[in-house]
Structure 1
């Protein structure tokens, strides 16, 4: 997940993705995981362009990932 979003803890990543980027992430994860042992949960909180993230965090401060252009 490195390169797609921000690592929060253990195997938890926060990513704000376009539809195209989400398809890329799904493809990369499908190739990387072991179907019988691994589990990936993707939570769609709405369109990154229009939704202001609302979250509650206890403990260490967590910064919301800002969506920025990626030039390839």
Structure 2
């Protein structure tokens, strides 16, 4: 991990995982857990309140390269 940064929740209805997705545009194993470890008490909020400040880990270049892109499948032709 390269450090941390703070983000303020500006939209209603965001969960921690959706906030991390908006920030990183990819799924990274263990990122939600790392974020919860940096923010004691955050797990009490299923939906993050507007104005809440969340400390997030800054991803290294290796972590970004190892991130999992979501495969989009088409169900119907």
Same fold (TM > 0.5):
no
- TM-score by length of structure 2 reads 0.29
Larger helix proportion of the pair: 2
